[in-house]
Amino acid sequence: MLGVKIVCVGNLKEKYLKDAAAEYVKRLSRFCDLEITETPESTPAKEKDAILKNIKGKTVALCVEGERMSSEKLAEFIEKTAQSSPKITFVIGGSDGLDGEVKSRADLKLSFSEMTFPHQLMRIILLEQIYRAFTIINNIKYHK
């Protein structure tokens, strides 16, 4: 089973975000070994070391200048990664983004949009897209 790690700067504060994250964590448990690691929020340069020490396997950095892809393409990427690596790590930076060293360490820089999202909400969006990817991979009726 593929290990999926999400390294997040900051933590979820609002109950509705915690509840949403918990729901996707529960749904994902049948497809992968999911681990979420939170690191303290500071400046990108200060956050860098905590992020880098938590990266395992293939790494995807979420950043606005990254590649945009469809849900199907993300599913393909995850499926290919599962064939070559036991773990994939997604990195969500803080409100000031990611340090350049974290971005250069990434195997893929991924952008969900040119728009800016709150990093707490981005965690929920990422969890949903990972769940959607696994339903696509497993031919489960969820993705339309």
Give the pTM.
Answer: 0.94
The single residue listed with the structure tokens 């036991």 is 86
User: CB 141: neighbour CB atoms within 10 A?
Assistant: 6
Q: What is the pLDDT of residue 62?
A: 96
How many other C-beta atoms lie within 10 A of the C-beta of residue 131? 22
Q: 3-137: which CATH topology?
A: Alpha/beta knot (3.40.1280)
Of the candidates 17, 18, 71, 11, the one whose C-alpha atom is nearest the C-alpha of residue 41 is 11
Q: Apex CA 5: angle with CA 23 and CA 142, to 5°?
A: 40
Q: Cα–chain-centroid distance for residue 138?
A: 19
pLDDT of residue 128: 97
SS3 for the chain is CCEEEEEEECCCCCHHHHHHHHHHHHHHCCCCEEEEEEECCCCHHHHHHHHHCCCCCEEEEEEEEEECCCHHHHHHHHHHHHHHCCEEEEEECECCECCHHHHHHCCEEECCCCCCCCHHHHHHHHHHHHHHHHHHHCCCCCCC
Q: How many CB atoms lie within 10 A of CB 59?
A: 23
> β-pairing, 58-67 with 3-9?
unpaired
Could you report the per-residue pLDDT of 12-46, keeping only the tens digit for each? Answer: 999 999 999 999 999 999 999 999 999 999 999 99
From first to last of its 144 residues, what are the pLDDT tens digits of the chain?
Answer: 899 999 999 999 999 999 999 999 999 999 999 999 999 999 999 999 999 999 999 999 999 999 999 999 999 999 999 999 899 999 999 989 999 999 999 999 999 988 888 888 999 999 999 999 999 999 998 756
Residue 144 is predicted with a pLDDT of: 62
Q: Where are the domains of the chain?
A: 3-137
